[in-house]
């Protein structure tokens, strides 16, 4: 159980001046500005939940994660994770969490992966039997058997990320923090990583907190999302609900033989070329089935597909709505 | 030329931003100079007759060395130049309408000047204010001062031309750190970076005075202090010009060969 | 301790991946201190003695300081490179692991290329120990051992102070070089030659003289008092404020994140 209540955090940042004269002046006196990184942030995450933590760069995502990991102390407010205050009881706390920073590696660059793993076993004082079980399980699930003997420097980004994730799960943490785990990965690796995270969450009941800019991660993984902007929690709810709440409009893509059909005023044309037509419509006004029937009556349709709003579009809409 | 003065300005402003770094650097170099002078003064007290320079000359030598440290030290390294060779992004550089040798030469010179510009004035002011025997003295006359300035400029160019050879050698070697450290150490030693050349034993000194390293910090520092004066100073500047020309010629030759190799191998 | 040995093995394994670069760098390190040695030699071939110390006496001092420093640098590299660790987030990683922070920083970096310097120190000892005119009774041997061991611990404490400063400023660190690099460079001569004020400073504030000048006097029979032999041990007290300083910095880091 993770509880954050009324967390505040402010940073003081020196203002850098442009121009020669000002740079000289800054030698003697310097101006500072206060940045409210977190403003009264509160939320609760239950055991075994999978939460997507989203927001634009600089919104306060990583500050929150750092506080939950025990790296940072907040100015005020309380954070309790499994009954502990992370920054007061650091060592006991971090034993129960796993952290993956997508852009920084915890693997040794020049030695085989298995050596890094064994060092982690000693750092976390993992029981040999548990270590062996975990390693075997992770090797199978993440398909690591070929990689374990290779040094990290000769792995591809995707392979390395699989090893990173395994590394942070060796000590069977109750909570897993994933900071942009799919950044820079190719499509296949992304899918493997997502499937794996889902499984770990379902089978081990590991609580997963995921920050990402890739909305497909969110769509594939998390039911609940937390949106943060300018240091405030703006939204806390389920993805489906949010989708419903935002735009209801549907996108209709049809392919046809012969001449292009006329469309009515209730349909908005997005694209039309080479026997392909993309139309956007509001199902409340013009039901999708009616639209298909309407088009089928006017031309020979060869393919039809309907899609709702994507998570990507929805988040873009949210950002616009909250001016963040 | 405009490009390089802009480069100089940016570097200078950039280093101004870090005021604590500038102050810390000053404090370090000041303490360093102070300790060096203390050590020399202990040797001076032990046997003034064996001292090969006048003591005040040694003091000036050391303060000048600290003030212009960033101008002459071989171990300052331009990481972006080295990286462009090692990682092969030099191919992009070759597309630009600028001679690469000149470009790098100016970049290194501008960087060294920018670093020194910030530091030299405060150190020199301190050095003129501290009590005897640590106080620095002015050169005997204006002519000597002028020769000194000329010699500083030449020494800087020799240092840069020499370091260009190290960068160019990166085209050929795979493990630059060790070689670089080795060359930097040797050249600083023979340029009088650790002990001024007059303190070398006579036979070693006789050789060292003719090496290209002697055309580096050794020459301007000794001209300023008055240890090398009159005709000797002109001869010294002649030596600097000779080595500068030689290093430039060798550097350009090596560079064009290295670039041909890059083209043939496709980077 | 066992874990430290494991880290040690990992570092050795990593660095041996680049054998050529490793040996060339070690060689470069060797030459770097060799030119300093040469400088000392040049000075003594001209002046023969300074403040009553002869070349061989000074070499004892030179080698003890060099050895102490290179050991400290080899194993305390984590603190020496702490600004980089802080900059690239490696330190945050240490904070999410269930081990003491100081231990993790210590174990995070080791640099065996410093062996080049250590080797130099050994060679100089090989020459200076028999030629210094010291009669090597057990107490003299112990004194020399204390110089090296306590010396590296004190240099080590200086690295910790250096790392501690990183929490407050990443820019102003250069001045610490006066004590670390400077300690090594100027420690080539007995600290008394730099004058009384500096000797006092290096005795009571930054206790470099405690493992260099005073035990050297004992070695050379200039002081018979056993206290001089044990001054390096007194110097170890410096470790206490150093660690405390690092902890203060760490607390500040945790509250500001910078």
d(CA A322, CA A320): 6
Which segment of A54-63, A162-171, A248-257, C122-131 scores lowest on mean pLDDT?
A: A248-257
Nearest to A72 among C98, C99, C257 (CB): C257
Q: What is the pLDDT of residue C219?
A: 95
Which contacts (CB < 8 Å, 24+ apart) does range C140-144 have?
A: C140/C218, C140/C219, C142/C229, C143/C215, C143/C218, C143/C219, C143/C229, C144/C60, C144/C64, C144/C215, C144/C219
CA of C139 vs chain B CAs: smallest distance (Å): 30
pLDDT range class, residue A257, cuts 50, 70, 90:
confident
Q: What is the pLDDT of residue B25?
A: 83
Q: Which residue has the higher pLDDT, A15 or A140?
A: A140
Q: What is the pLDDT of residue B153?
A: 95
Over the stretch A18-68, which tens digit does the pLDDT of each residue have? 566 666 666 566 677 788 889 999 999 999 999 999 988 888 898 999 999
Which segment of C88-97, C143-152, C227-236 scores lowest on mean pLDDT?
A: C88-97
Q: Minimal CA–CA distance to B46: which of A18, C54, C51, A263?
A: C51
Q: What is the pLDDT of residue C236?
A: 96
Mean pLDDT over A222-242 rounds to 87
Over the stretch C70-83, which tens digit does the pLDDT of each residue have? 999 998 888 888 98
Residues 6 or more apart whose Cβ sits within 8 Å of residue A20: B9, B13
Q: Is C169 on the interface with A (CB under 8 A)?
A: no
Q: Is C84 on the interface with B (CB under 8 A)?
A: no
Q: What is the mean pLDDT of chain A?
A: 87
The set of chains that have 3 or more CB pairs under 8 A with A is: B, C
Over the stretch C21-49, which tens digit does the pLDDT of each residue have? 888 889 888 999 999 999 999 999 999 99
Over the stretch C116-160, which tens digit does the pLDDT of each residue have? 999 999 999 999 999 999 999 999 999 999 999 999 999 999 999
**Mean pLDDT split into 10-residue runs, chain B, 267 residues:** 71 69 84 94 93 94 92 81 75 71 87 84 91 87 92 96 89 72 90 95 95 95 91 94 96 88 59
CA of C248 vs chain A CAs: smallest distance (Å): 14
8 Å CB contact of A20 and B9: yes
8 Å CB contact of C35 and B186: yes
d(CA C256, CA C91): 14
Q: What is the pLDDT of residue B267?
A: 42
Q: Minimal CA–CA distance to C183: which of C109, C238, C123?
A: C238
CA of C251 vs chain A CAs: smallest distance (Å): 9
pLDDT at A323 over 80: no
pLDDT range class, residue A118, cuts 50, 70, 90:
very high
Q: Which residues of B touch A23 (CB under 8 A)?
A: 13, 16-17
Q: What is the pLDDT of residue C141?
A: 96
The 8-class DSSP code of residue A185 comes to: -
pLDDT at A248 over 90: no
d(CA C223, CA B149): 51
Q: Which CATH class is domain A2-7+45-243?
A: alpha beta
Q: Which of B37, B180, B181, B200 to mutate to test the interface with C (most CBs of C within 10 A)?
A: B181
CA of C226 vs chain A CAs: smallest distance (Å): 43
Q: Which residues of A touch C92 (CB under 8 A)?
A: 66, 69, 71, 101
Partners of A43 in the beta sheet? A4
Q: Could you check whether the bond before residue B133 is cis, i.e. omega within 30 degrees of 0? A: yes
Q: What is the pLDDT of residue A297?
A: 84
Residues 6 or more apart whose Cβ sits within 8 Å of residue B114: B8, B11, B12, B15
């Amino acid at each position: 159980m993770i509880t954050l209540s009324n967390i505040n955090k402010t940073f003081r940042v020196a203002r850098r001046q442009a121009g020669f004269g000002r740079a000289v002046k800054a030698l003697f006196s310097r101006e500072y500005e206060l940045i409210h990184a977190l403003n009264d942030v509160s939320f609760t995450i239950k055991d075994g939940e999978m939460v997507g933590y989203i927001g634009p760069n600089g919104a306060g995502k990583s500050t929150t994660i750092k506080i939950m990991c025990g790296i940072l102390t907040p100015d005020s407010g309380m954070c309790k994770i499994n009954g502990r205050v992370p920054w007061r009881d650091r060592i006991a706390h971090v034993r129960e969490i796993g952290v993956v920073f997508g852009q920084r590696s915890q693997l040794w660059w020049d030695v085989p992966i298995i050596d890094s793993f064994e060092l982690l076993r000693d750092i976390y004082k993992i029981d040999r039997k548990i270590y062996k079980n975990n390693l075997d399980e992770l090797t199978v699930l993440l398909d690591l058997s070929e990689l374990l003997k290779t040094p990290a420097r000769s792995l591809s980004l995707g392979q390395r990320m699989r090893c990173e994730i395994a590394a942070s799960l060796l000590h069977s943490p109750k909570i897993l923090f994933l900071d942009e785990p799919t950044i820079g990965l190719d499509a296949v690796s992304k899918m493997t990583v997502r499937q794996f995270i889902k499984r770990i969450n379902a089978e081990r009941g590991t609580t997963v907190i995921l920050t990402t800019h890739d909305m497909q991660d969110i769509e594939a993984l998390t039911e609940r999302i937390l949106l943060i902007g300018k240091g405030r929690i703006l939204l806390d709810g389920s993805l489906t609900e949010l989708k419903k709440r935002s735009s209801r409009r549907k996108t209709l893509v049809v392919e046809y033989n012969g001449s292009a059909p006329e469309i009515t005023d209730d349909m908005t044309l997005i694209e039309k070329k080479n026997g392909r037509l993309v139309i956007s419509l509001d199902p409340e006004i013009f039901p999708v089935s009616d639209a298909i029937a309407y088009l089928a009556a006017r031309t020979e349709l060869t393919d039809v597909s309907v899609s709702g709003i994507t998570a990507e579009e929805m988040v873009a809409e949210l950002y616009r709505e909250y001016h963040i | 030329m405009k490009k390089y003065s802009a480069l100089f300005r940016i570097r200078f402003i950039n280093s101004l931003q870090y005021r604590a770094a500038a102050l810390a650097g000053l404090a370090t170099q000041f303490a360093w100079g102070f300790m060096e002078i203390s050590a020399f003064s202990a040797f001076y007290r032990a046997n003034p007759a064996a001292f090969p320079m006048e003591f005040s000359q040694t003091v000036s030598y050391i303060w000048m060395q600290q003030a212009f440290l960033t101008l002459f030290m071989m171990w300052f390294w331009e990481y972006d130049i080295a990286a462009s060779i090692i990682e092969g992004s030099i191919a992009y550089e070759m597309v630009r309408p600028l001679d690469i040798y000149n470009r790098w030469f100016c970049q290194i010179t501008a960087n060294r000047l920018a670093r020194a510009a910030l530091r030299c004035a405060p150190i020199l002011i301190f050095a003129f204010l501290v009590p005897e025997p640590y106080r620095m003295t002015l050169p005997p006359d204006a002519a000597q001062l002028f020769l000194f300035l000329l010699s500083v400029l030449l020494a800087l160019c020799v240092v840069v031309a020499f370091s260009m050879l190290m960068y160019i050698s990166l085209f050929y070697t795979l493990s630059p750190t060790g070689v670089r450290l080795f060359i930097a150490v040797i050249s600083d030693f023979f340029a009088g970076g650790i002990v001024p050349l007059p303190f070398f034993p006579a036979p070693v000194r006789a050789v060292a005075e003719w090496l290209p390293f002697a055309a580096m910090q050794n020459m301007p520092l000794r001209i300023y202090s008055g240890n090398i004066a009159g005709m000797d100073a002109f001869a010294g500047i002649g030596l600097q010009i000779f080595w500068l020309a030689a290093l430039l010629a060798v550097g350009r030759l090596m560079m064009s060969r290295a670039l041909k190799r890059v083209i043939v191998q496709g980077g | 301790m066992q874990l430290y040995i494991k880290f040690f093995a990992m570092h050795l394994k990593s660095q041996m991946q680049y054998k050529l670069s490793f040996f060339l760098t070690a060689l470069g390190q060797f030459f770097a201190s060799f030119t300093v040695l040469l400088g000392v030699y040049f000075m003594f071939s001209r002046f023969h003695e300074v403040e009553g110390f002869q070349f061989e006496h000074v070499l004892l001092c030179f080698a003890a300081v060099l050895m102490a420093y290179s050991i400290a640098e080899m194993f305390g590299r984590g603190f020496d490179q702490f600004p980089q660790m802080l900059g690239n987030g490696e330190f945050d990683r240490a904070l999410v692991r269930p081990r003491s922070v100081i231990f993790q920083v210590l174990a995070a970096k080791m640099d065996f290329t410093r062996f080049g310097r250590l080797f130099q120190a050994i060679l100089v000892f090989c020459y200076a120990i028999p030629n210094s005119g010291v009669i090597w009774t057990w107490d003299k041997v112990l004194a020399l051992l204390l110089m090296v061991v306590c010396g590296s611990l004190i240099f080590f404490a200086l690295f910790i102070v250096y790392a501690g400063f990183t929490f407050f400023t990443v820019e102003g660190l250069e001045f610490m070089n006066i004590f670390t690099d400077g300690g090594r460079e100027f420690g080539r001569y007995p600290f008394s030659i730099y004058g009384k004020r500096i000797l006092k400073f290096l005795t009571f504030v930054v206790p470099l003289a405690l493992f260099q000048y005073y035990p050297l006097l004992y070695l050379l029979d200039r002081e018979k008092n056993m206290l001089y032999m044990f001054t390096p041990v007194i110097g170890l007290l410096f470790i206490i404020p150093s660690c405390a300083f690092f902890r203060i910095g760490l607390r500040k880091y945790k509250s500001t994140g910078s």
